[in-house]
Amino acid sequence: MENVLITGSSSGFGYMSAVSLARKGYKVWASMRQPNGKNASKQQELQQLAEAEGLQISVIEMDVTQDESVAHAVKHIIETDGRIDNLVNNAGVMYVGITEAYSIDQAKSQFETNFFGILRTVKAVTPHMRKAGKGFILNITSLAGRLTFPYFGIYCASKHAVEAYSQALRYELAPFGVEVSIIEPGPFDTGLLYSGPAEADQQVFEAYGEHREVPKAVLKNFEGFYESADALDPQIVADDIVRMIETQKGQRNARIVSGIDYGTVQYNTLVEPIQEALVRDALQMGHLLEVSQN
């Protein structure tokens, strides 16, 4: 039985994919912050579901913004299972507002979860995967990792960073038999939209005059979409996570779009051959395009 470590399992894609993967026969380590505190009800839900359906779900505490928390959780999993077969980096927060009016500390906080949180889990897990000669890392980014939405500037920057980091990892870990892929979800109602704080720099915020209200209108627009018949079930993303994990080694796409794409599929289709030509032809590193089967 393969195992899967999922970050941000208290809600949204993380919660849904934990349940979906467990139902597919995987042993799931559903990590979250404060499972005995603010997320106690979520821990209880997962445990009750696991008991009722005979699923292998273990809730484990992990705060991706804290080095010790990540290291402790990964150490426990290795001591228990001896390995980590799959890592799903799902934890994230979203800041929506006047980009200039977010403080430096707020920008750092956004990156602490969305970008550095992934660095922490990857650095904790990859030594074990490289030693085993196999493993799969799946990073959940967003359409905002390829496109840029006004008033989502800090969020988009963090997701663009994850895209670049993941692409480099995909090449560099391939010779060790470890694969890295990305899922780019479109708009889904998972509660992420209001997960970030208001802008801290009030002087800049006030300087925007009537434009201060635009981010609120953007949020209302998304709310209306989520309530419309065109809105999609977030389970679509969980199903794509399952599908990517179950895809045969060496056959996984570098990235897939999940849900409404706003042209991102076309973007990826156009960029991929340019990216591969850079590595294969300009850099003469074609061996990094194929994952080792050893």
At 114-125, the pLDDT tens digits run: 999 999 999 999
Proportion of the chain above pLDDT 70, given as a percent? 100
At 150-167, the pLDDT tens digits run: 999 999 999 999 999 999
Name the active-site residue from 151, 155, 165, 171.
155
What is the structure's pLDDT at 225? 85
Predicted TM-score (pTM) of the model is 0.96
Mean pLDDT (whole number) for 109-117: 97
Question: How would CATH label the architecture of 3-289?
Answer: 3-Layer(aba) Sandwich (3.40)
151 is catalytic: no
Is residue 294's pLDDT more than 90? no
What is the structure's pLDDT at 191? 83
DSSP the chain: --EEEESSTTSHHHHHHHHHHHHTT-EEEEEES-TTTTTHHHHHHHHHHHHHHT--EEEEE--TT-HHHHHHHHHHHHHHHS---EEEE-------S-GGGS-HHHHHHHHHHHTHHHHHHHHHHHHHHHHHT-EEEEEE--GGGTS--TT-HHHHHHHHHHHHHHHHHHHHHGGGTEEEEEEEE----SSGGG-SPPPS-HHHHHHTGGGGGHHHHHHHHHHHHHTSTT---THHHHHHHHHHHHSPTT---SEEEES--TTHHHHHHHHHHHHHHIIIIIS--GGGGS----
